[in-house]
């Protein structure tokens, strides 16, 4: 099965994840997250299937996150509202996101990729 790999090519963490996928010969489709962000319904589904709290899907170090003052607002948002905000701008999403439709990982930690995707 081909995985969907949402990434940003200028992101070092994304490039490291891509190298790991290539080195482990894992079949994936690279999707540029800034140009083709996932939909709110996809994000909501990922939030529900992952073990992560919804706010872990946010790129908290990004400029847009600060501009929208999300640090102050995030605890008052519902998962649906979070998904809609994330879908509005791919740069708000913590990356890379890797999914097979059932499982999802956010960010890149080699140990996590080893246990989930190998």
- Domain map (residue ranges) of the chain: 3-117
Residue 104 confidence (pLDDT): 97
**Beta-bridge partners for 28:** 3
Q: What is the model's pLDDT at position 64? A: 94
Q: What is the dihedral of CA 103, 72, 85, 98, to 10 degrees?
A: -20
Q: Give the sign of the dihedral formed by CA 20, CA 31, CA 14, CA 113.
A: negative
| Digit-coded pLDDT (tens) for 60-92 | 999 999 999 999 999 999 999 999 999 999 999
Phi (first) and psi of residue 98, to 5 degrees: -125, 130
Instruction: Show the tokens assigned to 1.
Output: 């099965």
Q: What is the pLDDT of residue 31?
A: 98
* pLDDT tens track for 9-57: 999 999 999 999 999 999 999 999 999 999 999 999 999 999 899 999 9
Q: Is the pLDDT of residue 1 over 80?
A: no
Q: What is the CATH number of domain 3-117?
A: 3.40.30.10
């Amino acid at each position: 099965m081909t995985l969907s790999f949402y990434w940003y090519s200028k992101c070092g963490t994304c490039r490291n994840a891509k190298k790991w996928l290539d080195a482990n010969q894992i079949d994936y489709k690279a999707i540029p997250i800034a140009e083709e962000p996932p939909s709110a319904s996809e994000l909501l589904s990922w939030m529900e299937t992952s073990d992560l709290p919804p706010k872990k899907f946010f790129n908290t170090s990004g400029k847009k996150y600060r501009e929208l003052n999300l640090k102050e607002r995030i605890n008052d948002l519902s998962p649906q509202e979070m998904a809609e905000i994330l879908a509005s701008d791919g740069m708000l999403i913590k990356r890379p996101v890797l999914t097979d439709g059932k499982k999802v990982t956010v960010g890149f930690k080699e140990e996590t990729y080893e246990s989930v995707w190998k």
